[in-house]
Amino acid sequence: MEDTLFENGTVGCGGAGFPASVKLAGHVETLIVNAAECEPLLHKDKELLVRRGDEFFAGLAEAMRRVTARRGIIALKKKYADLASSVAKRCPSDVEVHLLDDVYPAGDEFVLVYEVTGRIIGPGGLPKDVDAVVQNVETLVNIGLARPVTRKALTVAGLVARPMTLEVPVGAPFADILAAAGGALEPDFGVLVGGVMMGRLAGDLSEPVTKTTAGLIVLPIDHPLLRRHARRPEAVRRIARAACDQCTFCTELCPRYLLNHPVEPHRVMRSFGLGISADGAARYARYCSGCRLCSLATCPEGLDPSEICGLVKNATAQGSPPRGESPAPRPHPLRFARRMPTARLVRKLGLEGMPDHAPWSSVRIAPRRVQIPLRQHVGVAAEPVVRVGQTVSEGDCIGRIPAGKLGAPVHASIDGRVVSVADTVVIEAE
């Protein structure tokens, strides 16, 4: 029997794009909805809870049914009191709202599970180890829609004329999205894709929206965040070897270290500076979440401990991190006091004064051309099942996953004609 979640190409919309059909294949006690949206300036999930509430609750019910969860918990920030009250009124008897403090990274799965359940996932573990599974708001909306994933909700924020949250066809170029928001307010600008913390620098505005694009953040070309995201690996290595004074701030304020995970970026930096092999530093780097708090907010020298941890992990990667270590019985005793408030993070990032609102917009993007990557998810790339010249309609499958492989099919997001088939399928509207 075909799994509709798989056939519809439903993947996690809040991270790397893990196929929802696989994530919801087990059995757990608690399903946690990640509505924390802790990246500054992003508002996608909050807006979806308002505008796609029916689909969200339908998707939540289906997800809970699949994992036989006895309870569902919607975790969102207490600063959105009105939204929390509205959502709580719609919750069935087995679903509740849990209010989170406004800190970063509240949306990290390990942090979120602890905040909601009081249980600590062991290093290298998964939420299912503590009888839970976490799903993003938009993923549940897509489950509730019960149709092929052809559209993506995202926030356009920063220096644009009209910050907004909207739905666009997968594969639409960034240029069309920025135009819908009235364009950039400065002639020289850069764009961060996904978020200011864990996002990346856009190559150019012809890049396409994918199933995991959470937002486009427009900043002036000389903004420090753009310079930091533009650093090349060789520059990161050179600076790390020369300037780290072992203050330990990167470790003492690390969200995973504060859950008593063996993550110690200052040790990684020391090993790197002394020329010790990546294997020698790997034990302190392998459980780094990549939240980049140390690199962008806590290091007084402006170094990149998170990036160095990533380089060490890549150099020693042998499949998934080991899961043999036992979970800590309790978090660091100073964890609560050492959390990073979002307001403080915004100041440190130089984002004060940026509009922190992105209301839902019903504007419809109708691109003349979409570029749909065949790999927008964890696992293998989809194999194309269309040919150049073929006419397709929105929702038609254009890429399938080989039998027995992890991945998710991809679908046409507009009606049109296929003009190119390679790693990306290009469709032009007719």
Amino acid at site 205: L
From 130, 145, 160, give the residue that closes a domain.
Answer: 145
215 shares its domain with 269:
no
100 shares its domain with 20:
yes
Q: Does 324 reside within a domain?
A: yes
Helices 278-285 and 265-273, packing angle to 10 deg:
170
- The pTM (predicted TM-score) of the whole model is 0.94
Q: Does 9 reside within a domain?
A: yes
Q: Does 360 reside within a domain?
A: no
User: 76 near 88, Cβ under 8 Å?
Assistant: no
160 shares its domain with 269:
no
Q: What is the CATH number of the domain that holds 377?
A: 2.40.50
164 shares its domain with 122:
no
Q: How many CB atoms within 10 Å of residue 389? A: 9
63 shares its domain with 78:
yes
Q: Does 41 reside within a domain?
A: yes
Measured between alpha carbons, how far is residue 245 from residues 125, 209, 228, 303 in Å? Answer: 32, 41, 20, 10
- What range does the domain containing 166 cover? 151-223
Cα distance between residue 241 and residue 224, in whole Å: 21
Q: What is the pLDDT along the chain (430 residues), one digit of tens a residue?
A: 358 999 999 999 977 899 999 999 999 999 999 999 999 999 999 999 999 999 999 999 999 999 999 999 999 999 999 999 999 999 999 999 999 999 999 999 999 999 999 999 999 899 999 999 999 999 999 999 999 999 999 999 999 999 999 999 999 999 999 999 999 999 999 999 999 999 999 989 999 999 999 999 999 999 999 999 998 888 888 887 778 889 999 999 999 999 999 999 999 998 877 666 666 678 889 899 999 999 999 999 999 999 999 888 887 765 445 555 666 678 999 999 999 999 999 999 999 999 999 999 999 999 999 999 999 999 999 999 999 999 999 999 999 999 999 999 999 999 999 999 999 999 999 8
Q: How many CB atoms within 10 Å of residue 385? A: 15
The tally of domains found in the chain comes to: 4
Cα distance between residue 195 and residue 216, in whole Å: 7
